[in-house]
Amino acid sequence: MENNKSYKEYLEHITTFIFDVDGVLTDGTVTIMSNGDMLRRMNVKDGYAMKQALNNGFNICIISGGTNEGVRKRLNNLGIKEVYLGAHQKINQLIEYTQKNKIDLKNVLYMGDDIPDVPVLKAVGLPTCPQDAVIEVKGNSKYISHKHGGKGAVRDVIEQVLKVQGKWDPDFDAKAH
């Protein structure tokens, strides 16, 4: 699961979380309605952790190849303003986002699950993936969550970072923020 250095050595330096959507914040399945709408499910535990990270001053960005505006609305409602949809060369959005916000790539944790995520995984300080990621992504990740995409993998990595940095608040009320 871990390459070279233990992934835990990177946790204290993380300032920024960047996530893919399908297969990371969702389980990767899409329900297609008769009118053509595609429905996805997101885990509220991931949402809770993202709100707690934002409340503690962490940056969160979403880079997804998908184009569903419902996804943007859900993430914006959580307080995530940097949502790149329709990103087919995700490395371009990574560079744009980190340069615009003066973020050092070594301080970025990225979680992806499929081939389009590999260039981003290779560029960041802490590349991670859900348990059910494809083998090429697992091979480029310093940490493989024990959770599957859409089943708490995002919560897993956020909680670990916040706990190592002394910022995880078990009494945090996400509704109050």
In the chain, what are the domains?
8-176 (3.40.50.1000)
Q: Write the CA distances from 52 to 2, 30, 37, 39, integer angstroms.
A: 26, 28, 31, 26
Q: List, for residues 109-128, the tens digit of each pLDDT value.
A: 999 999 999 999 999 999 99
- State how far the Cα of 101 lies from the Cα of 93, in Å rounded to an integer: 12
pTM to 2 decimal places = 0.94
Q: What is the pLDDT of residue 22?
A: 95
Q: What is the pLDDT of residue 173?
A: 85
Percent of the chain at pLDDT exceeding 90: 86
Query: 1 falls in which pLDDT band (50, 70, 90)?
Result: very low
Q: What is the pLDDT of residue 176?
A: 66
Among residues 156, 106, 109, the alpha carbon closest in space to that of 131 is found at 156
What is the pLDDT of the chain when averaged over all its residues? 94
- State how far the Cα of 101 lies from the Cα of 73, in Å rounded to an integer: 22
Q: List, for residues 152-169, the tens digit of each pLDDT value.
A: 999 999 999 999 999 999
Res 2 pLDDT > 50: no
Q: List, for residues 99-112, the tens digit of each pLDDT value.
A: 999 999 999 999 99
